[in-house]
Amino acid sequence: MATLKKETLLEWYRQMVLIRLFETRCDELYREKKITGVYLHLYSGHEAVGVGANAALKPSDHIITAYRDHGIAIARGVDTKPIMAEMMGKKTGTSGGKGGSMHIASREHNFWGGYAIVGGHLPLATGMGLACRYNDTDQVVISFIGDAATNNGYFHEALNMAQIWDLPVVWIIENNLVGMGTRIEDSSGQVELHKRAIAYGMKDGGRVDGQDVVEVHRVVSEAVAYARKTGPVLIEAMTYRYKGHGVSDKTYDKRMADELKEWVDNKDPIIVLRRTLESKYKGIAKELDAIDKDASANVDEATQYALDSAEPTYEDLINNVYV
C-alpha cells in the first residue's frame, strides 16, 4: 500500500465506480427491453477482483473469463461505448452485435471474452498459455473461474495440463459462495478452493480478500511474476454477488437478505477503497465525487451511443459465422 501512488489508487477507484454504474444501467436497460437476449449476469460486488487482477498485468498479457464479463472488459480498458452497443446487439458493438452480454471480447486489449459454457474457457486458457510458452513471448494469461466451475471436468483437464507444461497461467477463482442458487458447501467437498492446487502439484496462491483491490493487486502481482518465469498459480478471491445469478433470477435477494446486507454495508469494494483514500489523503472526497460524476456521464454517453447505433444488416449477420 505504501508504495502505491495516489494516482494509481484513484484510477482503480474510477474503474470500480464505472463498472458499478455501467452495470446498474444495464440492469435498467434490460428491464426496459433495450438490452435483450436470454441473460445478463452482473459483476456488481466483484469489482475489486477484476480491477486488482488486471492492474497486475501488462497490456501484452491476456485475460479470459466466463459470462460475468463486462466489468473485467471495462477494467481491461475496453471503451464502454462498444460494450454497451454489444449489449444492445448493435453493429458498433465489440463483436458487431453478434456476441451480446456473455461474449464481450476485444483483440486490441487481449481480452478474449466472455464464455457461456461453464468452465468451457479453461482449456482455452491452457491453450493460450501453451502458445505463450511455445513462442517464448514472455506473456501471462489470467483466467477467471467461477467457484462452481471448479467442479466441472474442464477445470481438472485444464489445470492439470497447465501444470505438466509449466504454462504461464494465473487461475483466479472468484468465489462468490454460490453457483446459481447452490451454496459452495453443497457442491464442494473441499470448500477452500485454492487448495485444489495441491492435487495438481501447482503453486497454491492462497485465499485473498476479493473486496480489497489493494490486496488483490498484491497477491495477483506475485502470482503473475511467478507464472511469467516458472509456471501456473491458483488463487481464490473471496467475493460476493450482489444481484441474482442473472437478471431473471428473482429469488436470490430474498433468500440471502441478511448475508447480502452484511457484504454491501461492510465489505463493498468501492466503499472499502474510498474509506482508505479518505483516511490517507485529507480533502480527497471532492476528487472522488468528481470521479463519480465523470463515470455517470461516461455511462450516459455510452448508452446514448448504443441507442443511436445502427442494427447489423443481413450481410453483417451472415459474415464471420461458421456454417
Ligand X SMILES: Cc1ncc(C[n+]2csc(CCOP(=O)(O)OP(=O)(O)O)c2C)c(N)n1
Residues at the site binding ligand X, with contacts judged by CB under 6 A: 68, 116-118, 146-149, 176, 179-180, 241, 245
Instruction: Say how far apart CA 161 and CA 101 lie, in whole Å.
Output: 30
Cβ 270 vs Cβ 13: under 8 Å = yes
Instruction: Say how far apart CA 115 and CA 117 lie, in whole Å.
Output: 6
**DSSP sequence for 18-45:** HHHHHHHHHHHHHHTTSS-SS-----TT
Minimum CB–partner distance for residue 150 and ligand X (Å)? 8
**Which is closer to ligand X, CB of 180 or CB of 199?**
180
**Which is closer to ligand X, CB of 72 or CB of 118?**
118
Residue with grid cell 511467478, as numbered in its chain: 226
Neighbour count for residue 96 (Cβ, 10 Å)? 18
C-beta nearest to ligand X: residue = 146
Query: Which residue, among 308, 319, 236, 284, has the nearest Cα to 34 in the 3D structure?
Result: 308
**DSSP sequence for 93-141:** STTTTSS-GGG--BGGGTB-----STTTTHHHHHHHHHHHHHTT----E
**Which is closer to ligand X, CB of 63 or CB of 295?**
63
Minimum CB–partner distance for residue 162 and ligand X (Å)? 18
Minimum CB–partner distance for residue 253 and ligand X (Å)? 15
Neighbour count for residue 77 (Cβ, 10 Å)? 13
Minimum CB–partner distance for residue 146 and ligand X (Å)? 2
Determine if residue 276 is left, alpha or beta; phi over 0 gives left, psi from -120 to 50 gives alpha, anything else beta. Answer: alpha
Minimum CB–partner distance for residue 204 and ligand X (Å)? 20
**Which is closer to ligand X, CB of 244 or CB of 312?**
244
Minimum CB–partner distance for residue 228 and ligand X (Å)? 27
Enter the C-alpha cell of residue 125: 486458457
Instruction: Say how far apart CA 63 and CA 74 lie, in whole Å.
Output: 12
**Which is closer to ligand X, CB of 1 or CB of 180?**
180
**Which is closer to ligand X, CB of 46 or CB of 81?**
46
Minimum CB–partner distance for residue 180 and ligand X (Å)? 5
**Which is closer to ligand X, CB of 14 or CB of 195?**
195
